[in-house]
Amino acid sequence: MQKYSEMTREQLLAEKAELTARYEAFKARGLKLDMSRGKPGADQMDLSRALFHQIDEDPESGEADFKNATGIDCRNYGGLDGLPELKKLFGDILGVAPEQMIVAGNSSLNLMFDTVAQGMYAGFSGCAPWLTQGKIKFICPTPGYDRHFAICEYFGIEMLPVDMTPAGPDMDAVEELVKDPLVKGMWLVPKYSNPQGVTCSEETVRRVAALRPAAKDFRVFWDNAYVVHHLEEPGDELLNIYEECRKNGNEDLVFQFMSTSKITFPGAGIAAEAASPANVAELKKRMSFQTIGPDKLNQLRHARMFRSVDDVKAHMHKHAEILRPKFRAVLERLEAELYGRGIAEWTCPKGGYFISLDVMDGCAKRVETLCRDAGMVLTTVGATYPYGRDPRDRNIRIAPTFPTVAEMELGAELLCIAVRLAALEKLLG
């Protein structure tokens, strides 16, 4: 495969003519593809059909079985931090004791937003509310998850980008930034990161856990969204952040988040937050004013469907079987069309929901337009960066989960054509 940079102008023009023909043919097909969001497909949601049957009536007595293992009537009020079964299960997954878990409603984004909001209006560790401390800042590993950045934008929190490396965020930069007492937080998807699929190395986890921020009310928002979401076996291993924090006397540094949105149902799963005893007490104090308790019936459905971490793992195998061919369809096409041309780089994640593709600098928006004009929606280019601005205009987040394998094959081909065309347009000036 010849690098574009080594081709003559004639060769580039010939290449462009060929690709333009392929592109026009695609356009004529009137495709309608959506690779924009990390949405599970209907086939994945069908795996959790059993959730609908977990609260059945006894055929003899006609009584529905709505009590949990400890006898709680899950229909009524109460139980601020969730059912004990799920506190145990999620605690086992995240590596903390059940007492350190808060099991809530359907949205971990909601838990993150509310936790940041609490920092803004109430503060942490006895410090003044962030809202009253001046222009506070969060560290944002980039590229990253757009909804994390959006929360910062909503609250007027200044975002400080640091690079995501293959081992996690650039910790030299992070260690430098936390010396500023106005730096109050850091976002991080520590496993199968969004969008690159990076899992933090042991060293990175240890360095995060050993941070000595100038601000006592600095917190890491450890969004473990893909904690059991392997595509390949064996998947990546992530060190237990809480244990590492403990070794450093740094228990209060981290809020952990997870949910079953991509285990059971995206819109009707269960979300959870884990933290140190002191942090949990602060969170629960706020929650005790905010609600009487979560939907325990939906928690009960989940507790009955997943009796142990092994049940969850077995279930995630089935997801992986559905998703693997979709990811492979994209990766094979990227390799076939882009490898060796010197115009793109991409990740081959072992889990998570995305493939991250870096095209030639200044070409990502053009690729997005070319794809859209041919009927395929990509994640808005720039969304993976703070303020929606990719400084090099090169990152594209590919979300292969929602379309079918056949659609993904088509979509990946269109994407590759667009990447090559955009590069050729740039090189030909």
Nearer to a copy of itself, 68 or 276 (CB): 68
* 120 binds a copy of itself per the rule CB under 8 A: yes
Render 356-371 in DSSP notation, one character per residue.
EEEESTT-HHHHHHHH
Give the nearer residue to a copy of itself in terms of CB position, either 75 or 317: 75
Provide the mask over 38-77, with x wherever binding to a copy of itself is found by CB under 8 A and - wherever it is not.
-xx-x--x--xx--x--xxx------x-x------xxxxx
127 binds a copy of itself (CB under 8 A): no
The strands making up 344-346's β-sheet, listed across from edge to edge, are: 344-346, 355-359, 395-398
Asked if residue 284 lies in contact with residue 102, where contact means CB atoms within 8 angstroms, the answer is yes
Strands 254-259 and 33-35: unpaired
Say how many residues make up the chain: 429
Is 380 a residue that touches a copy of itself (CB under 8 A)?
A: no
Q: Does 293 contact a copy of itself by CB under 8 A? A: yes
147 near a copy of itself, judged by CB under 8 A: yes
Closest CB to a copy of itself among residues 105, 213? 105
Tokens of 379: 């994640």
Binding mask 245-274 toward a copy of itself (x if CB under 8 A, else -) reads ----------------x---xxxx------
Q: Is 304 in the site for a copy of itself (CB under 8 A)?
A: no
The DSSP call for residue 77 is S
Q: Per CB under 8 A, does 135 bind a copy of itself?
A: no
Q: Which of 26, 34, 25, 20 is nearest to 376 (CA)?
A: 34
Residue whose C-alpha is closest to residue 22's, from 368, 417, 410 = 417
CA angle 103, 106, 111 (to 5 degrees): 60
Q: By C-alpha distance, which of 104, 111, 56, 80 is closest to 299?
A: 104
DSSP tag of 344: E
CB of 295 to a copy of itself, least distance (A): 4
Nearer to a copy of itself, 246 or 318 (CB): 318
Q: Which residue blocks in 55-201 are alpha helix, DSSP H?
A: 84-94, 108-121, 146-155, 171-177
Residue closer to a copy of itself (CB basis): 240 or 291:
291
- Site residues (CB under 8 A) for a copy of itself? 37, 39-40, 42, 45, 48-49, 52, 55-57, 64, 66, 73-79, 105-107, 109-110, 113-114, 117, 120-122, 129, 131-132, 147, 150-151, 153-155, 261, 265-268, 286, 289-298
